[in-house]
Structure 1
Amino acid sequence: MKLISVLNLGALLVASVTPSAISCPTTHHAAPIVYLSNGTYRGTYNQYYHQDLFLRMPYAEAPVNDLRLRIPQSLKSTWTGIRNATKYSPSCIGYGSDTWVLGNHVSEDCLSINVVRPAGLPERAKLPVAVWIHGGGWVNGGSSDPRYNLTFIVEQSVRKGMPIIAASMNYRLHAWGFLHSAELAAEGSTNLGYRDQRLALHWIKENIANFGGDSERITLWGNSAGAFSVGSQVVAYGGRDDKLFSAAILQSGSPLVFGLKPQTASTWEPYWNKLLHTTNCLVPEPVACLRRLPTNELSAILNSSFASPPSWGQVVDGDFIPESGRALLKKGKFAKVPLLMGTNFDEGTEFVSQGINTTSQFAEYVRSVGVAKQEVHSIEKLYSDNPAVGIPSTLKGRPEGHLAYLGQQYKRAAAFSGDVFQHAGRRLTTKSWAKQQIPVWSYHWNVLVENVSPAKGASHFQEVVFTFNNINGQGYDTVVSKSPLAGKPARLVKLADVMSTAWISFIVNHNPNSNGKSNLGACTCRLLTDYLTHSSIPHLATVSRAV
């Protein structure tokens, strides 16, 4: 991978609106209005942040009744008068803690978009746009999750002199969006959640100028399943460039399938057959039968333990995903846009199986994730049973005492797991971009945050709060999690400022280092700012530009 120096372009090269051009907050501010081709929306004005919010704007017909388990249909309805866009939509139906901590406020009628912008934009403003795709393992979550509050990143962009508009979307989850079978494939109803995202991107492309956004400068952005979603959009239709986005940010995800097993109709056949049996849809037209089931009845079955599904997410269908992500990358079949991509050092602690105590158990685990039997011995040699070289480094030695349940070979298995599920995809993706002479920046997160055990380390998802500049940890203090910035230690608050500024710089300039704060040398550079050379700031990793 050839590395070259990065030019400090300056933050205002592409930003059409500077903070001085944005009007100051006033005591009385009318609710914002936006005129779109389908009709007119009234948003809400947030005086504290001086922002306009437009929430729950549908981008598709509701996927209910006969539209259930079908490709999303563009919104056809129009209206006169003004519709309110002041409250979040229910999340799409899903199952997991990301959904139930928000009160299980879900619905099939969920395909909507939110837009947050600085208030007081001049007419004909053209701000760069960030489009966030939430994660949640393809099975839960939603754009209303307060951890993904777009207000903080928009506020930071104005503060840093690089104002942006931010948008987020809901997309169908679990079987509602990612069920697969030969019958569904025959009618083209595959990768529905990803097709939802694609239609949302078309809506944003067509409408964002009315909000003051630049339709030619749209950056996709996601973490975890959201990053895998971004990756799937990048390779969709064999890398066909529909000009829906001009750059992409992938945090802990890639264009590859999650793991080593590409999904096909045969992979899904056992789950599909059990679903039909459980729903009494073993009939000549099973898909039509599933569409007729009451929502609550089908949801209760999907949320039961009637069968274990394959991995949710990307399926090779010969259309939206014509070949495996790995094959598409190696053939150069992806959208040629600048990329900012990274993973967390201890990703494997999130995904590893617990209780691996012996080498034979380790070998069994290696086989279970899809490694060919003849390759297992090579894996055993590559990943030695030496805790000193396993992960996380924050856990010294082997798990003992109250951590014994993790297994004596936990650190060995976690190192392998991180490579399989995250780091391998990052490496292949960045190398593929470099081979095609496309700008790509790669980071490696290595920070132990507050409320995380040393046995977990710098694991999955922990960087998200920093990239949003969510320094108050909004949405994190729940029955299942605690704020990574509890007490707001200065070193972590500063890190949030550094990272969010870098992300904004990439959204604005498609270069994370052009924020006017760093003088980067050739070959290798510290991430984005000289702040990271200070001992008070935790080491994040190196970021380089490869072409």
Structure 2
Amino acid sequence: MISLPMARLTKLREGCWNLNGVKPSGLEEGEESKLPVLVSIYGDEWVQDATSDPRYNLSYTVEQSILTKKPVIEIFLDYRMTAFGFIYSKEVAASQNTNLGFRDQCGFFRAAIMESGNSVGTPLNGMDRYQKCLCQVPFARSPSLTYQGLQCFHIIDNLFVPWYSQQSIFQGRFARILILLMSDSNEGVGFGPSGVNNDSQAVNQLTHSKRWVANTAQIEEMLNLCSNISIMGSSYGWSNTIFPPKLELEYKQHTGIAGDLCMFALRRLLAQQISRYRENVYSYRWNAPNYNATSTIRIYNFSERPYVFGNTDPTTLIPLGNSAEDFQLSHLVSLPGIAQWPKYSAQPKDFVFRKNRSYVEDDTDIKGVKYVNFVAR
């Protein structure tokens, strides 16, 4: 078995198909089969699931489900298929074995929570440089190179994935299940590198990154549409934090676009489109920094994770974590609706989680975000 983790952040001590399951104790015979089952999959480009990671201790969520009288069984899957789940060639296509990394999920879920995740397009911007690189790298070196950021995505195969994700969403060609979507306030901080000091550098980074496929003309239009006024925060107006001087203006604008491209714009698009077909669609923005971070700039990808899994270490996580768990359990278990959390509709609103005061806000239609969603990916 070959394990290809993306980074050295997690020690992977189990196989790529391991699963953990936690259920309430003291169940009567036959009672177990009547409980809802929550399945957690942390894809991270399908290279970094780890059931042994203590941050994904399912006991806290199951305990909270009992306390709120919504008992559940929860399962956490390792889903590290890496490139082997998305192999493509003429022969693979002819045998209809493309996108195996997704096929086993079809029809499996009645509702879903998508945390900083969405239908992101294949990060391919021309084939020549990729083919040249692959032809020159011995297979024996592949595992070590994955630490530099191997990512695995679906392939447009004209069968299971017939076209770009945006096209499927605009045409209503998606699983019309109940969904709860979220994104962190400054997602782009985790995906946009520092050292971007002018438009030229921003264009270069955003056209050559492994994460998106926008071309130069499209990125230049995004720069025109997205503000670089520091006090406005990220380009979608979520934060009034002024970044440190060495990062200001161009960096703030660049990370705002990066966040729109990979998380925020697509989250809004899917919520907007699926709410046309399903009534119970909910969306939230996570605006609470991790326990070891102090400023708003640190509310980047993954910030919500210790809270939504109910971690109790440190104890400062508990109150907000309980609130987040209660909302999510209400969505997945009760299904009809969530009190005090408006459904996503033609007048879209997001719930905002904060440590001191959570609230509801309008999900504004920013020009830059709207443009991003029309770039086919």
Would you say same fold, with TM above 0.5?
Answer: yes
Tell me by how many angstroms 1:417 deviates: 0.8
Q: Is the 8 A contact 1:443 1:542 kept in 2?
A: no
Residue 497 of structure 1 aligns with an amino acid whose one-letter code is N
Distance in 1, matches of 2:88 and 2:70, equals 42
Distance in 2, matches of 1:520 and 1:383, equals 28
Q: Is the 8 A contact 2:24 2:62 kept in 1?
A: yes
Distance in 1, matches of 2:50 and 2:163, equals 28
CA offset digits 1:234-277 (Å, max 9, x no partner): xxxxxxxx3x22111101111232xxx565xx966764675466
TM-score, normalised to structure 1's length?
0.57
Q: Paired residue for 1:111?
A: 17
Q: Paired residue for 1:138?
A: 46
Q: Which of 91, 95, 102 is the matching residue for 2:5?
A: 95
Q: Which of 110, 116, 122 is the matching residue for 1:252?
A: 116
CA 1:278 to 1:351, structure 2 compared with 1: closer, same or farther past 3 Å? closer
Residue 537 of structure 1 aligns with an amino acid whose one-letter code is N
Residue 163 of structure 1 aligns with an amino acid whose one-letter code is P
CA 1:355 to 1:262, structure 2 compared with 1: closer, same or farther past 3 Å? closer
CA 1:166 to 1:305, structure 2 compared with 1: closer, same or farther past 3 Å? closer
Equivalent residues in 2 for 1:288-299 (5 A)?
none
CA 1:507 to 1:160, structure 2 compared with 1: closer, same or farther past 3 Å? same
Residue 253 of structure 2 aligns with an amino acid whose one-letter code is R
TM-score, normalised to structure 2's length?
0.80
Are 1:539 and 2:358 matched, yes or no?
yes
Tell me by how many angstroms 1:520 deviates: 6.9
Are 1:312 and 2:220 matched, yes or no?
no
Equivalent residues in 2 for 1:145-156 (5 A)?
145-156=53-64
Q: Paired residue for 1:469?
A: 310
138-147 or 344-353: bigger deviation: 138-147
Q: Is the 8 A contact 2:310 2:321 kept in 1?
A: yes
Consecutive unaligned residues in structure 1, runs of 5 or more:
1-63, 65-91, 202-232, 234-241, 280-297, 473-485
Distance in 2, matches of 1:184 and 1:276, equals 20
Matched position secondary structure for 1:304: helix
Q: Is the 8 A contact 2:6 2:148 kept in 1?
A: no
Q: Paired residue for 1:35?
A: none
CA 1:320 to 1:144, structure 2 compared with 1: closer, same or farther past 3 Å? farther
Distance in 2, matches of 1:519 and 1:304, equals 46
Q: Is the 8 A contact 1:268 1:310 kept in 2?
A: no
Q: Which of 230, 245, 268 is the matching residue for 1:387?
A: 230
Distance in 2, matches of 1:117 and 1:536, equals 29
CA 1:306 to 1:133, structure 2 compared with 1: closer, same or farther past 3 Å? closer
Q: Is the 8 A contact 1:112 1:169 kept in 2?
A: yes
Distance in 1, matches of 2:148 and 2:53, equals 27
Residue 507 of structure 1 aligns with an amino acid whose one-letter code is L
Distance in 2, matches of 1:411 and 1:525, equals 25
Are 1:168 and 2:76 matched, yes or no?
yes
Q: Is the 8 A contact 2:180 2:282 kept in 1?
A: yes
Distance in 1, matches of 2:63 and 2:181, equals 23
Q: Paired residue for 2:328?
A: 503
Are 1:449 and 2:290 matched, yes or no?
yes
Q: Which of 191, 204, 210 is the matching residue for 1:351?
A: 191
Residue 428 of structure 1 aligns with an amino acid whose one-letter code is L
Q: Which of 18, 29, 47 is the matching residue for 1:123?
A: 29
Distance in 2, matches of 1:540 and 1:526, equals 9
Aligned length: 353
CA 1:309 to 1:324, structure 2 compared with 1: closer, same or farther past 3 Å? farther
Tell me by how many angstroms 1:172 deviates: 3.3
Q: Is the 8 A contact 1:129 1:507 kept in 2?
A: no
CA offset digits 1:73-127 (Å, max 9, x no partner): xxxxxxxxxxxxxxxxxxx7122346x632x4254xx424332111221222201
Q: Paired residue for 1:370?
A: 213
Q: Paired residue for 2:366?
A: none
Distance in 2, matches of 1:184 and 1:324, equals 20
Q: Paired residue for 2:100?
A: 192
Residue 393 of structure 1 aligns with an amino acid whose one-letter code is S
Distance in 1, matches of 2:137 and 2:215, equals 33
CA 1:524 to 1:179, structure 2 compared with 1: closer, same or farther past 3 Å? closer
Distance in 2, matches of 1:524 and 1:376, equals 27
Q: Is the 8 A contact 1:271 1:309 kept in 2?
A: no
Distance in 1, matches of 2:356 and 2:334, equals 25
Q: Paired residue for 2:369?
A: none
Q: Paired residue for 1:331?
A: 171
357-366 or 463-472: bigger deviation: 357-366
383-392 or 142-151: bigger deviation: 383-392
Distance in 2, matches of 1:445 and 1:191, equals 31
CA 1:536 to 1:132, structure 2 compared with 1: closer, same or farther past 3 Å? closer
Q: Is the 8 A contact 2:93 2:157 kept in 1?
A: yes
Distance in 1, matches of 2:120 and 2:207, equals 19
Distance in 1, matches of 2:341 and 2:18, equals 41
CA 1:378 to 1:543, structure 2 compared with 1: closer, same or farther past 3 Å? closer
Residue 358 of structure 2 aligns with an amino acid whose one-letter code is H
Distance in 1, matches of 2:275 and 2:265, equals 15
Q: Is the 8 A contact 1:445 1:541 kept in 2?
A: no
| Percent identity over paired residues | 27
Consecutive unaligned residues in structure 2, runs of 5 or more:
364-377
Tell me by how many angstroms 1:320 deviates: 2.6
Cα RMSD (Å): 3.4
Q: Which has the larger radius of gyration?
A: 1
Distance in 1, matches of 2:61 and 2:192, equals 32
CA 1:135 to 1:376, structure 2 compared with 1: closer, same or farther past 3 Å? closer
Distance in 2, matches of 1:329 and 1:273, equals 34
